[in-house]
Structures are given as structure tokens and as C-alpha cells.
Structure 1
Amino acid sequence: MVTSGTPDSAGTSGTSGSPGTSGSPGTEAFRAARDLLLAHREDHDTAYERFRWPRPAEFNWALDWFDVIARDNERTALWIVEADGAERRWSYAELSRRSDQVANWLRGRGVRAGDPLLLMLGNQLELWETILAAMKLRAVLIPATPLLGPADLADRIDRGAVRHVVAGAGDVDKFADVPGDYTRIAVGGAAAGDGWLAYAEAYREPAGFTPDGPTGADEPLLRYFTSGTTARAKLVEHTHTSYPAGHLSTMYWIGLRPGDVHLNVSSPGWAKHAWSSVFAPWNAEATVFVYNYARFDAPALLAELDRCGVTSFCAPPTVWRMLIQADLSRLRTPPEIVVGAGEPLNPEVIEQVRAAWGVTIRDGYGQTETTAQIGNPPGQRVKPGSMGRPLPGYPVVLIDPLTGEPGDDGEVCLDLSRRPAALMTGYHGDPELTATVMAGGYYHTGDLAARDADGYLSYVGRTDDVFKASDYRVSPFELESVLLEHEAVAEAAVVPSPDPVRLAVPKAYVVLASGWAPTEETARAIFAYSRRRLAPYLRIRRLEFADLPKTISGKIRRTELRAAERDKHGAADARPPGEYREDQLS
């Protein structure tokens, strides 16, 4: 189904009139799996039972899927709206031709199959062109956010054994002191000079691309540096199957349909951008929509959602929490599809969006190491606080961290005897870590969850975030969800604070909503709310108003907050400056 007002809405799925209906055996295997999920979009049980991952021996998504559906297809594949109001659209056919030109030019610059290519661009046309072109060449993409500095880039180029760099002209100076024998390609600006080649020269190449040879489905395609919430960033390796075909699960969770206009709030360089701004929408033959702002502006974003007829919207919890502080009722036609990912959604956010738009934000769970593993797909009952059920193709098992036995509470794991095609091959250059997370016949996510009688899973927390207080197990997420229901709280992170009697007590670091001051009166109000909503052993006992340390991708670094608590308290129980305590304010 395509909503009225959606641009370029002619055509539906590959089985009912898609522009491209032929291709390789890999194309047909992919199409069959994709179409089964579309046919059972709102029937999770049937989709889960009948879905099988496409596992062709050879597969190149850019050639065997994108180019096939792009033949004579003038529907919009990519639509970018700039903050100043300028906008451009590119059709499937146009992106196919342009990526051919870029692939031909990159090949002339020495890019070969297996070469690691670091791609550091913002939300701009050249990003999507280069992704497709590199896939056609069988190069190995290493996406990088433009927020990286020289030290991070040096680490990525060294550990990633980078042979080629494609970066924006505004970022070329960052590479001045980054050693390595790598081709330098600049996008935009004066570009050429000082050893940098001008990307714009690619458009002089002829369209029409002939691959050097077949693409093995298990050849490496992507190496992602994780955001590093607890340690040095890991280097996750995916293949030509695991991410392109793997994101059939993501397409299903979101509920994307041919002709949808999908806006995903995510920055290039991180896995979530590939999830929802490349593979999932183009798997569905939808439009990738980008609102390319430099500074987040909730009213402006809502206005573009309305003006452009966005039908599907995905955003991380941080963005949803900022949006609900704006006037959601301004939208005349809210998106039909709304999902959240990155971190668990809090029930208060879900309820406010439902009240304003009449739709329910559906949570989902996955990792850089996988695609969407667990989620609430369309048409299913959404249980408050649950991230849903295992998605088609994912054999999820909960393993007790102490006994190693499966049960209804434990670490989220994947049964390797039914290994999902979407699972990474491992951590590049780190066989020991790979062996650790694949131990015992399971892939270990490091996340804890609980399963109810209906098979719904609720997120408990990271294995290293859950802590003991007075011998009770405390899930920070549970407490944070309650805090976020208070009108004064914009963001919150709960960590253990050393205590001589209880071993540890829950302490909240709080970012205040607009209009609230970091005063004793505000702290007293939050403590009182905590007492009313939480059991005595779960209450917030200490509180501090502060900005939250985050990774470059926006995830809260609770490991820094835990370390700060140990440093502040040590063996003494003296109250550090800026900390409020419940027993002193009640």
C-alpha cells in the first residue's frame, strides 16, 4: 500500500510489476525471500515460520539487486532536502548510471577487489554513489563519520589496512598527519591538489559497468568500527550477504513497502545508517529521504515530515525525546510507520507519540554485528516495555550467564546451529574476541533480556550495566524509564554509586528539560516521583545534574559514569559537590 500524496508511487513489488524482474540466481533467491516478507508483512508467525535466508553462492547486491530493479525505473530512490530549503531527487535508474561512472573511475584510480576503502562523507549524493560503486568493484567499505579527528582516523587506517580514502573536501586537512600509503580522493570544493584527486572527474566516465568477475556471497563487504561504549572500538566484518540480504529482517521490522518515503535520523559512518538509509529501504524499493540539517531543530524536522509526505520514520530515543517536547500535533498527516532503534524506547515517549499521532512507535533491537534481531513488526500487539519477538531468520535464545543454560531470563544469544546469514563473520584482526563471543555454540550479544509467556522479550540492560544494590539486581534501563516520565527530565543515566552499607545504591545523572533549573527543589521533586513509582530497593538514592558522556555516535558511556562514581566516593561516604541524596531531602 502507498499513502496518497506519496511521490513516485507507481509500481509495487517485484512480483507485481516492478521495473526489474530478471537477474541472476542470486537475484531470484533474494527476491523470493523479500517477497515472502512483504506478503506476510502483518503476519509475524507465518513470516517467522516460512522465511529462509537467501544463501546464493554468488551475490553482489549492487549488481544483482539494485541495478536490476533500477532498469528503466524513474521512481525516486534518494531525496535530499537541505536545511536551507534546497532539494534534489535521484531516480533508481540515475543512481545506477552514476554509480557505474564512479566505479569505472575508481577502478582507473587503482581500486581493486578486496581493497579496504575508508568512506567519510556526510548525507550527500556522493555517499550513496560510492557505496554502490565500491560494492560493484568488490572493494571493502570502512564507513567513517566526518566527526572523527586525526587520531581516530590514524587508528582506523592502521587497523583497517586502508588502501583508499574518499572524504569531503572540508575534511582533507585531518589526514595531513595520518600516515599510510593510500589513495586520497576529495569530494567537493577545490578538491584536487596536495595529492588529493577530484571525485568530480568520475562523471566524465562512461555509464555501463563490467565487473572483473563474480562476487562470492561470503566475500567481505563492510568493516564497521563500533561506537566503543565500554572499550576500544571493535572492527566488525560483514559480507556481501550478511548486510545486504541480512537487512531483509530490518525491512520487515520497520514494515517498509514499495513506494514508501522513509526518513531515518542517523549519521553516516555508523551501522544504523546502512540499516535504514541504504539496505532496508532499497530492499523494499522505497525512497530514502534525508533532511540534511546541521543542528537539530524539532519544529523544522516535523515541518519537512509533513511537507514531503514521509510515510515511514525511524529515529533514536534521543531524537524522540526531543520531538515530544515540540508540538507533535502540528503534523496534518503523521507517518504511518514509526520506529525507534539505537537504545530501548521508554514507555512515556511511546505514549505521547500515540496520543498526538494515533500511531505506536515500534521498538526494535539489533547490533552492528547483526541486523534487526528482535522487534515489533506491523500488525502485532505492542506490549509496553517490550522490544518485541525474534524476527524472521533469527534463532534467539536466552542463556543464563552463570549456568550457561537456556531459559526465560538471560543473555540474548543466537543459536549457531541455525546461524543467521545476517551475523558478522567476526571481529577483523581479533580472532580471540571472535572466539569469545561465539563460544559454546552461541553468538553472545552482551545484552540481558526477559521473555514472557507470549514470547515477547524485554530489555534488561548490558551485562556490564546491571548491578547489585542490597543484593537486589538493578536494571538501569528500568529506572531510567521511570525518571524520563517526569517532566523535568530530558535524559537520564543510572549507575551504581558505592555505599558502605548496601554495597551500591542507584544514582541518576540527569539532563534537565527546558525551563527547569538544577536546584535542590528540582532534585526533591524527582526523588519524590521516584519514591511513588519504584519499589524501595529500586529507588534513586542519589542524583546529580550533569551532561551525559556519549560516544561519537550518541550512545551514553555509562562506563565513564561508573568510573566517576568510584573516583568520587572511594572508601569514604562523604557527599561529593553537586550530588543530592534522597535521605537528606525527604
Structure 2
Amino acid sequence: MTYNFAEKIDEIAQLAGNKLALICVDENRKESHLTYAELTAHSSQLARALQLQGLHMGSRVLVLLPRGILPYTVYLALLRIGATILPGSEMLRSHDIVYRLQHAGVEAVIADEGLLSEAEKALEQQPVKYRFVAGVAHEGWKSLDDIVQGVSHHPLVQPMDDEALAFLSYTSGTTGGPKGVQHVYSWPREHLKVAGTYWFDAKPEDLAWATAGPGWAKWVWSPFVSVLGNGATGFVYTGRFQPETYLQLLNDYGITLLCATPTEYRLMAKVNGLQRFQLKLRSACSAGEPLNREVIDTFQREFSVLVRDGYGQTENSLLVGTLKDMEVRAGSMGKPFPGMRIAIVNEEGQPLPVGEVGHIAVHKSFPALFRGYLNDPERTQAAFRGEWYITGDKGRQDSEGYLWFEGRSDDIIISAGYTIGPFEVEDALVKHPKVAECAVVASPDEERGHIVKAFVVLRNPEDEFLGERLVEELQNHVKQLTAPYKYPRKIEFVRDLPKTTSGKIRRVELRNKEQKNSSWSRT
């Protein structure tokens, strides 16, 4: 079979070309708009221009763009020519970019003008054949605005085999570098069948705001595929998150569908005087980490909307959630979506009885499941137990089919919806001349669910007396070497770390210590 998500957009444009596809608002309330007809034309024109520059079916392209209308156009243009997209967060540092360029054999980079500094540092170490900039042309970089001049905007769509590689998203691992998650061209079709129908629930009449930023799998999930694929109008805000600003935007624009992180919901729920905001939300959902009951109750009481939890991963799609009109069970992730084979299994991949804690697993027959980790057969094999893909999360299922999250089965940290591998933070910390060794774990936090905490052994124990000055120095050091969202918000100096007899750090002891000492627990 063949499928290309761009065809779906063209179909919508043919039926309702003048319908708004996107409304983009900046922090000064300046607006820009794009209709479905314009989205088809602009993305087709850019696709043809990129082909003329030398990109082709199978080209691997790293995209580094902030929120705005342009990411939608660029992603669609690349899909139209059959390229493979590497979503890249604007927070990536040169070290992160070099890793992706080398690991994936990237052929081209498309970057925002404001992100060229980190990109150029990376490209000095790992050159690519093609460089394109969103903005004014720079030495070695061709401007996207320049290359489209005089190029036809007649629709262009390359039919793609279902199994051709469409998206290569990188996600953190507990050891080694980030893993390249491979999703194929049929993935958007299958994602729309599940999340777009049973959970996200976008409809053509909706003004839908999914707050995820480009560079993350969640942006591909919701703002890109689920909003546009259902013919809704997408709302984009390019300013920084401020809870009162978000509520005011929801109020002023009459947004009807919201998908945000638990952290964003938690902070909005704490704003004083919520009765000031007259929201028109008909539906709201959340994903990235469990959502506490207090927030659900606040939004139900103040805005008459039920915030519905959803669970999935970069490696798949939405798997479990509270669907429309489903009874909410406080603390539960919800139920598997219709037709989904989700089970709680043991270490051997055998399904466990009701109520027993085990691995949350999805059957390998799920069409939206990833096609393995790029160039990493060992970690791919380790992710499966027989017929089941093991998510890395522990849970249990009750007699009525509801699933309950019990925690990570590895050392991965999920903070404010970001997935963070301890290795990446530890690798950055030990590059500091004052650090002898360290261990990084999740520490419970009321607003973010968890935050990154580092236990640091100093080369010179006397440096501990530098106190907060050294803490800030180490935090800034990490921000310079890897994406800033990964930096340790807490640092504790210790004389040694718990280890096994073979010398491996026992993060589990430190993690349990943090859980025990925490003054906050999710309810």
C-alpha cells in the first residue's frame, strides 16, 4: 500500500480551501493566518524548490524550527518529496545536533535564523550537503524565501510505500546516546484512526490548541497530524508559557479544544480568580505524565470541562486514555483504545492476572508501533518480550479494564512532559573539572511531576563550601552542553555513590531516597 499524509491535506483543501488551517499569535498579539488552500500551495512550492536544490526521496533532513506556521509548511513539503524528517527541538545544543547528524547520516539541515549559532558549531564537526535557513541567507546557507522564487505551487505529492521511513525522532535512553525511533509513512494514517478519533477528537469546526512545540514527537502527534488531519483550525502561540496568558488566550480566541501538558494544567489551575475567564472549551486532554486529581476537579468546577488523560510514547501512538463520555477513575490512565492489544506482562512477556503489577506492553501487531531503533538492533531487541513491546513503564489493570500507572521500570525521568535520560545529564556534569562522578535521578515535584536531581561527588570535597555558587555553575555548565530543559534543578553534594559489587551506580537507591523524602505526592 501507499500513503502520504500530504494527500490528506490536499483533499481538505479541495473541499474547503478557504477554511483557516492555522492561526498564529505572537506575544504582542500580532496574528498571521493560513488557509488550507494556501498550506497546500506553499508546501507544494517549497517541495518543488527543495527538489530543484537536490533533495529527493529518502533524503534525511534535520529540521530546527521554533513554533509558528513555517514548521507545518516545511514538514508537509518534506513529506511531499518522500524525505525522512528528523524533528529537532530549538533547545538542542551543538553536541546534540552532532550526534543526530552522525548517527542518522543527515543530508540536509533546515534551521531558523535564530538557531544558526548552535547548528553551525555542529556542522563544523559534521558537515552536510545542503543547508537552508528560515530568514535571511547566510554564508553557506540558502534562504527558503529565495529558493521558492519563481517555482510552481501546483500540488506535488510523491506516493510513498507504507514502510518507507517518514519520521526519525530521537528519545532519551538510560545508557548511551539518544535512540532514533523509526516511524514510517503509514504512521499518520494509523495515528488518526486511534488518537484522532477516540481521544484528541478534533472536528472541522474546532479551533484546536495543542501546545507542544516542533521538534517533539508530540508535535507530530497533535498539532500537525491530529489537528490538520481532521480539518480543524490549529491555534499556535509563539510566546513563552505563562499560565495567566494561556488562560487569557483561551478566553479571547474562544478555543474549543485544548491539549496541554500536566505541568501547564497544574499552573493554570493555581491562577487566582479563575472565574474571570469564560472558556468555551468543549474538550481538553493531557499527555506526557499522569495528571493529578486536583487539577481535573478544578477545570471541571471552573470551566465545566473534563481534562482527559492519555498515555503513549515516541515509539508508538496514544495507547491508553480516558475517552469521551468515559467514567473518570481518579489516578487511572484510562482504558486501552478500541482494538488496541495492551497488556500487563511479566519479564518473560506473559500476560499477568488482574491487579498484578508488571510491564505495560503493546502487541507488536499494532500498526503505529515504531519499526525499531535506527542502527541499534540490540536495543530494539531488548524492547520486546516475545510478541510484546515493553514500554518501560510499570502498571496494573483492574477488573473493569482501567490501567493504573505504577512508575518507570528504568531510570528515565519524565519532567513537565519532557523525557530525559540520566546518562545525558551525567555525561555533561562529569565534563566539569570540579566533578569526579555523579548520578542523576527523578525527584518528585508538585508542578512538574518530577525534576532532575543530581548527586555529585566532587574532585575536591572542599569545593562543597562554595554552596549555591557552585550549584549555579554546574547548572549553567549542563545548559551549555545539552538541551537546557535537562539541567538538574536540584544538586546534592555527596562523598560517595551507592554501587553494586561490580561498581555500577545503583540509581534505584537514590531514586527511592528521593521518593521517601519528598513532601509532595500525587493524588
Assess, with a 3 A threshold, how the Cα gap between structure 1 residues 120 and 344 changes in structure 2: closer, same or farther.
same
Aligned to 2:326: 380
Matched, 1:187 2:130: no
Aligned to 1:67: 10
Amino acid at match of 1:410: G
Question: What is the CA–CA distance in structure 1 between the aligned matches of 2:120 and 2:285, rounded to whole Å?
Answer: 41
Amino acid at match of 1:69: I
Per-residue deviation at 1:173? 2.5
Question: What is the CA–CA distance in structure 1 between the aligned matches of 2:319 and 2:516, rounded to whole Å?
Answer: 40
Aligned to 1:40: none
Amino acid at match of 2:298: Q
Question: What is the CA–CA distance in structure 2 between the aligned matches of 1:372 and 1:430, rounded to whole Å?
Answer: 24
Matched, 1:367 2:313: yes
Assess, with a 3 A threshold, how the Cα gap between structure 1 residues 69 and 334 changes in structure 2: closer, same or farther.
closer
Question: What is the CA–CA distance in structure 2 between the aligned matches of 1:192 and 1:495, rounded to whole Å?
Answer: 39
Amino acid at match of 2:133: A
Q: Tell me, what secondary structure is at the counterpart of 2:332? A: coil
CA contact (8 A) 1:74 1:91 kept: yes
Question: What is the CA–CA distance in structure 2 between the aligned matches of 1:117 and 1:496, rounded to whole Å?
Answer: 34
Q: Tell me, what secondary structure is at the counterpart of 1:200? A: helix
Q: Tell me, what secondary structure is at the counterpart of 2:333? A: coil
CA contact (8 A) 2:68 2:237 kept: no
Q: Tell me, what secondary structure is at the counterpart of 1:272? A: helix
Q: Tell me, what secondary structure is at the counterpart of 1:103? A: helix
Assess, with a 3 A threshold, how the Cα gap between structure 1 residues 568 and 351 changes in structure 2: closer, same or farther.
farther
Per-residue deviation at 1:203? 4.7
Per-residue deviation at 1:286? 0.8
Amino acid at match of 1:324: A
Question: What is the CA–CA distance in structure 1 between the aligned matches of 2:212 and 2:138, rounded to whole Å?
Answer: 32
Q: After superposition, where does 1:137-286 map in structure 2 within 5 Å?
A: 137-177=81-121, 178=123, 179-188=126-135, 191-201=136-146, 202-211=148-157, 214-228=159-173, 232-251=177-196, 252-286=198-232
Per-residue deviation at 1:156? 0.8
Per-residue deviation at 1:453? 1.2
Per-residue CA distance 1:173-219 (angstroms, 9 max, x = gap): 2233322232000001xx223111010021531111444x5311111
Question: What is the CA–CA distance in structure 1 between the aligned matches of 2:346 and 2:410, rounded to whole Å?
Answer: 14
Aligned to 1:460: 406
Q: After superposition, where does 1:48-59 map in structure 2 within 5 Å?
A: 57-59=1-3
Question: What is the CA–CA distance in structure 2 between the aligned matches of 1:490 and 1:209, rounded to whole Å?
Answer: 46
Aligned residues: 447
Q: Percent identity?
A: 30
Question: What is the CA–CA distance in structure 2 between the aligned matches of 1:403 and 1:395, rounded to whole Å?
Answer: 13
CA contact (8 A) 2:383 2:391 kept: yes
Assess, with a 3 A threshold, how the Cα gap between structure 1 residues 319 and 556 changes in structure 2: closer, same or farther.
farther
CA contact (8 A) 2:20 2:36 kept: yes
Q: After superposition, where does 1:248-327 map in structure 2 within 5 Å?
A: 248-251=193-196, 252-293=198-239, 295-327=240-272
Task: Name the TM-score, length of structure 1 as normaliser.
Answer: 0.70
Question: What is the CA–CA distance in structure 2 between the aligned matches of 1:566 and 1:232, rounded to whole Å?
Answer: 27
Amino acid at match of 2:171: T
CA contact (8 A) 1:247 1:422 kept: no
Assess, with a 3 A threshold, how the Cα gap between structure 1 residues 61 and 374 changes in structure 2: closer, same or farther.
same
Per-residue deviation at 1:434? 1.1
Assess, with a 3 A threshold, how the Cα gap between structure 1 residues 405 and 376 changes in structure 2: closer, same or farther.
closer
Assess, with a 3 A threshold, how the Cα gap between structure 1 residues 81 and 567 changes in structure 2: closer, same or farther.
farther
Amino acid at match of 1:355: R
Per-residue deviation at 1:258? 1.9
Aligned to 2:511: none
Assess, with a 3 A threshold, how the Cα gap between structure 1 residues 184 and 97 changes in structure 2: closer, same or farther.
same
Say which of 290, 293, 296 aligns to 1:350.
Answer: 296
CA contact (8 A) 2:59 2:84 kept: yes
Per-residue deviation at 1:158? 0.7
Task: Name the TM-score, length of structure 2 as normaliser.
Answer: 0.78
Q: Tell me, what secondary structure is at the counterpart of 1:94? A: helix
Per-residue deviation at 1:283? 2.2
Amino acid at match of 1:335: L
Per-residue deviation at 1:347? 1.5
Assess, with a 3 A threshold, how the Cα gap between structure 1 residues 274 and 403 changes in structure 2: closer, same or farther.
closer
Q: After superposition, where does 1:409-428 map in structure 2 within 5 Å?
A: 409-416=357-364, 419-428=365-374
CA contact (8 A) 1:313 1:335 kept: yes
Assess, with a 3 A threshold, how the Cα gap between structure 1 residues 496 and 100 changes in structure 2: closer, same or farther.
closer
Matched, 1:333 2:333: no
CA contact (8 A) 2:24 2:31 kept: yes
Amino acid at match of 1:235: G
Question: What is the CA–CA distance in structure 2 between the aligned matches of 1:296 and 1:100, rounded to whole Å?
Answer: 32
Question: What is the CA–CA distance in structure 2 between the aligned matches of 1:455 and 1:319, rounded to whole Å?
Answer: 28
Per-residue deviation at 1:450? 1.0
Question: What is the CA–CA distance in structure 2 between the aligned matches of 1:229 and 1:352, rounded to whole Å?
Answer: 36
Q: After superposition, where does 1:88-167 map in structure 2 within 5 Å?
A: 88-167=32-111
Give the gaps of 5 or more residues in structure 1.
1-56, 467-479, 499-546, 572-578
Question: What is the CA–CA distance in structure 2 between the aligned matches of 1:304 and 1:453, rounded to whole Å?
Answer: 41
Q: After superposition, where does 1:21-32 map in structure 2 within 5 Å?
A: none
Amino acid at match of 1:174: E
Assess, with a 3 A threshold, how the Cα gap between structure 1 residues 375 and 236 changes in structure 2: closer, same or farther.
same
Amino acid at match of 1:423: L
Structure 1 stretch 260-269 or stretch 106-115: which is displaced more? 260-269
Amino acid at match of 1:462: R
Assess, with a 3 A threshold, how the Cα gap between structure 1 residues 135 and 128 changes in structure 2: closer, same or farther.
same
Q: Tell me, what secondary structure is at the counterpart of 2:99? A: helix
Question: What is the CA–CA distance in structure 2 between the aligned matches of 1:113 and 1:350, rounded to whole Å?
Answer: 45
Q: After superposition, where does 1:564-575 map in structure 2 within 5 Å?
A: 567=496
CA contact (8 A) 1:336 1:359 kept: yes
Assess, with a 3 A threshold, how the Cα gap between structure 1 residues 492 and 173 changes in structure 2: closer, same or farther.
closer
Matched, 1:401 2:347: yes
CA contact (8 A) 1:413 1:443 kept: yes
Aligned to 1:444: 390
Give the gaps of 5 or more residues in structure 2.
413-441, 456-474, 501-513, 518-523
Per-residue deviation at 1:108? 0.5
Question: What is the CA–CA distance in structure 2 between the aligned matches of 1:145 and 1:200, rounded to whole Å?
Answer: 22
Per-residue deviation at 1:407? 2.8
Question: What is the CA–CA distance in structure 2 between the aligned matches of 1:287 and 1:305, rounded to whole Å?
Answer: 14
CA contact (8 A) 2:60 2:104 kept: yes
CA contact (8 A) 1:320 1:349 kept: yes
Assess, with a 3 A threshold, how the Cα gap between structure 1 residues 430 and 146 changes in structure 2: closer, same or farther.
same
Amino acid at match of 1:225: Y
